[in-house]
Amino acid sequence: MKETTRRALFILLVVLMVLTFYAIFNAGNPHSLFRYVIRDTRYDVAVTLALSACIVVLALLLTAERSNRLKGLLDLNRDYILELRRKGKSDGEIAESFLSELKAPAGLLRSIAKRRVLRYLSRLK
């Protein structure tokens, strides 16, 4: 995915999140800004759920792109990874080394990335 497309999807995601936040707290409100588009308040919950579903789909698209980037970097370093294995390094050590070179911040995202790297390494022969 091109960087401009990714940025546009991210902006769309933020806009949908703001609209969903507004829809959650104004569902059923007869003076809501949604009344200009949706006259009947019976559809507020359905609209909120639809906006939420769009957010989930966009978030999955943006996340899948990130994991493909990680796999691409691992594919580029395949020979070096195999060399480290021949030197007796464990998959955990290789994964930590790889993530530290990427300067991945500690926390949830690092642990998710580490699991993906370890999964890649387990499939690598």
Domains of the chain, by residue range, sit at 1-65, 77-125
Residue 66: its pLDDT value, please?
A: 65
Give me the DSSP letters along 42-103.
GGHHHHHHHHHHHHHHHHHHHHHHHHHHHHHHHHHTHHHHHHHHHTT--HHHHHHHHHHHHT
Task: Share the mean pLDDT of the chain.
Answer: 89
Encode pLDDT of 69-102 as tens digits.
788 888 888 999 999 999 999 999 999 888 888 8
pLDDT bracket for residue 63 (50, 70, 90): confident
Encode pLDDT of 17-56 as tens digits.
999 999 999 988 999 999 999 888 899 999 999 999 999 9
Q: Between residues 21 and 63, which one has the greater pLDDT?
A: 21
